[in-house]
Structure 1
């Protein structure tokens, strides 16, 4: 019988109330879960380490002064869409990137293509410190298998469309895949879960929304959907129902407190929409760099003002070009300053009235207070750790606590991206520290080799075979497109 694993460090990122703190701690892992967490003082930690009986009970991993943190949660991805890097430029002539470009290429994808491309996207997430993804795509069973093969944990949302889009003919299978992944022990014991994935309010019929609402209540599975992400979506829903996308979902009882709903993008939301969202059962997802490519950033200041629950994610490389979630955090930290437009700033340098100067100074003070909040390390880290990690009713992640998934990252704080190591929380929330990953433990298993994390993955036979197949399939696909 294998020993229970024990991870030890003088520096462990723990959460106390709403704040992330650094403390000596020991973490017990059995199977895919954390089974015990013992916080120490430096004195009690040193005494605990000297206990010789520990070696008889545990497989010990003593990381000394290295930092152990929960691994990041990327709560909105399309990992198979990495192949779009071969197709897309920075700017497009099309009015709607999703409908005019993405849908066309996706219509040529086979399940085997998706599995091969998803492996590459999963590896990219892992190398960026993301141990759990919420993925939303076609041929979802292939995505789930790719996650099993690469070792990443995931929530799989098979894309549901019955009005328009490349998934219309796959709709019934996608619905059944949602249930199959949920009920298959092969997936659940390896931390692969499911959720319902209606594509968007304008590509899913009222009948299908009603069907998945009933199933969501029956299975206690969340809904993961795009909402108010394009002008065209909002226009279609209003033309057909005289409602906004959020008001439409509210009328269909999708936003009831009994159903967990992950509402992605929310670019076009008005005040009534914000008042209609139940912050206890629903969460908005902000993908800043993605939104700047295909539309423009949602107003997260209003989200925060209305005390809504919201998280941060990368979306797909088709509109972002990276699975690095840390850069998304940096954008969010400075978001309040975007309200100080160039026009207003230039105006105060010219002749202006006392009233105009007073308003400007008042707004600047207000912006400074918002910047202090949005750049707070605990505020930012919660958006990619325990916030999204604890949203699914079937598991906990993104935190170092009992019964949470054993998804942990060990960081070498001697790496220059952590120097000086006086404020490790800030380094994680504002830095580019993925080069400092010493190793990752995902679902209780080490993904790479200590000190050679990236190199050990990229030189493995498993990765090389995945790369070879993805390259071969991409070559064939590009000829079709």
Structure 2
């Protein structure tokens, strides 16, 4: 029998009520789960530390004063789409990036291509501190296999389309893949689960939405879908049903209280839409840098104003060229300042002092209040930790607590990106700290060498073989496109 692991540090990021705190703690791990967390004062930690280190029932990992935190959750990805970095030179010529470019290239993909490319995307997530991803793509089992081989936790949503898109011919196969992944004990024992992945409201028929709804209820699986992400989508749904995309899903009872619905992008929402998704079982997902490429950023000020639950994801590298969620957090932290950037009150620069100046000052104060909220470390970290980590009904992640997935990052706080180490939470939410990853434990397994995390992965035989296959498959794919 394998020994349980015991992690020790004088700086562990825990939750206390709704706040994140850093304190000394012991963390016990068995299998893929955290089984016990013991919080200490600095005095009691020192008193019990040596005693615990003599416990022969545990494999001891003493990290001194290095910071231990939950690993990030990237709640919307298409990890196989990293190959698009090679073919995006004509992006500016497209009216709709998804339909005009993505669909065209994706029609040539094989399951083996997706498997090879998804491994590269999984490695990129791991090296950016993301231990759990919510992925949405074609050939779902190939994505699941890639996650299994790289060791990342995942919620796999095989793309479902029956009206338009490259997935139409794969639709029934993808539906069955969703159920098969959910029922596969090898996957669940490795922290891999599934969700239903309808592509968007305009590429999925009413009948398929109804079937997804019934299956989600029967199998206790969430729905993970793009919603109101483009002008074309909104226009099509309105022409067919005289409803918004959210109104359409509400009519179909997709927002049933027994179904968790992860609704990605939500760029085109109106006030009535917010009333329809005002529930704990619904959450919007904001992918800021991606949205700036293919449309424009959703108005998260309205999301927050209507008390809507929402999380943060990166989307695909084809849209934002990165799997780094910290970059997205920084954008969110400064988002309220965009509210006044191009408004008429910038006439103050033209020396128009008077009533407009007074109004500008008032709006600037309102913006400052919003910025204080949006840049708050607890507010931001919840969007990429326990918020999306607790959204799937089958497991919990994104926090260091009993029965959560053992997804843990150890940070080298002597790294210059943490200096001075007076506010580590701020550094995690607004910094570039992935270069300071000392090691990561994903599903109870260490993924690199202490102090050599990135290099040890890049120099591993598994990564080199994955890179070799991905390069060869990309070379052949580009010939087809």
For Structure 1 versus Structure 2, the TM-score category normalised by the shorter chain is: over 0.9
Q: Which moved more, 1:303-312 or 1:85-94?
A: 85-94
**Correspondence for 2:71:** 71
Match of 2:169 in 1: 169
Query: In the alignment, what sits opposite 1:390?
Result: 390
Match of 1:258 in 2: 258
- Residue 422 of structure 2 is aligned to residue 422 of structure 1: yes
Deviation at 1:85, TM superposition (A): 0.2
Q: Deviations over 1:389-435 (max 9, x none)?
A: 00000000000000000000000000000000000000000000000
Other-structure match for 2:17: 17
Mind listing any 5+ residue stretches in structure 2 that lack a counterpart?
A: none
1:176-191 → structure 2 map (5 Å cutoff): 176-191=176-191
What does residue 103 of structure 1 align with? 103
Question: CA separation in 2, counterparts of 1:351 and 1:433?
Answer: 42
Partners of 2:441 and 2:369 in 1: CA distance = 38
The alpha-carbon deviation at position 56 of structure 1 amounts to 1.2
Partner in structure 2 of residue 137 of structure 1 = 137
Q: Is the 8 A contact 1:257 1:278 kept in 2?
A: no
Assess, with a 3 A threshold, how the Cα gap between structure 1 residues 478 and 52 changes in structure 2: closer, same or farther. Answer: closer
**Contact 1:417/1:427 (8 A) holds in 2:** yes
Asked whether the 8 Å contact 1:279–1:307 carries over to 2, the reply is no
Displacement, 1:53?
Answer: 6.8
Give 1:260-275 correspondences, 5 Å limit: 260-275=260-275
The 1:240/1:413 distance shift into structure 2, 3 A limit, reads same
Answer yes or no: is the 8 Å Cα contact 2:53–2:60 preserved in 1.
no
Match of 2:289 in 1: 289
Deviations 1:438-478 (A, max 9, x none): 00000000000000000000000000000000000000000
Q: Distance in 2 between matches of 1:125 and 1:350?
A: 46
Alpha-carbon distance in structure 1 between the residues aligned to 2:217 and 2:255: 12
Quote the offset at 1:350 in angstroms: 3.2
After TM superposition, give the deviation of residue 349 of structure 1 in Å: 3.2
State the match for 1:59 in structure 2: 59
Asked if 1 retains the 8 angstrom alpha-carbon contact of 2:345 and 2:359, the reply is: no
2: distance between equivalents of 1:478 and 1:2? Answer: 46
Residue aligning to 1:84: 84
Aligned mates of 1:171, 1:353 — CA distance in 2: 61
Give, in angstroms, the shift of residue 89 of structure 1.
Answer: 2.9
Root-mean-square deviation over aligned CA pairs = 1.1
In 1, Cα distance between the equivalents of 2:472 and 2:149?
Answer: 19
Q: Conserved in 1, the CA contact under 8 Å of 2:345 and 2:357?
A: no
Write out aligned runs for 1:121-132 (5 A).
121-132=121-132
Deviations 1:58-106 (A, max 9, x none): 1000000100000000000000000000000384211000000000000
In 2, are the aligned partners of 1:255 and 1:278 still within 8 Å (CA)? no
State the match for 1:230 in structure 2: 230
Report the count of equivalent residues.
481
Q: Distance in 1 between matches of 2:362 and 2:130?
A: 40
2:201 maps to which residue? 201
Deviation, 1:54, is 4.0
Deviates more, 1:290-299 or 1:81-90: 81-90
1:91/1:171 CA distance change after superposition, 3 Å: closer
Contact kept? 1:440, 1:446, Cα under 8 Å: yes
Secondary structure (helix, strand or coil) at the match of 1:159 reads strand
Preserved CA contact (<8 Å) 1:223 1:259: yes
Are residues 1:298 and 2:298 paired?
yes
CA distance in 2, matches of 1:426, 1:465: 37
Deviation at 1:276, TM superposition (A): 1.3
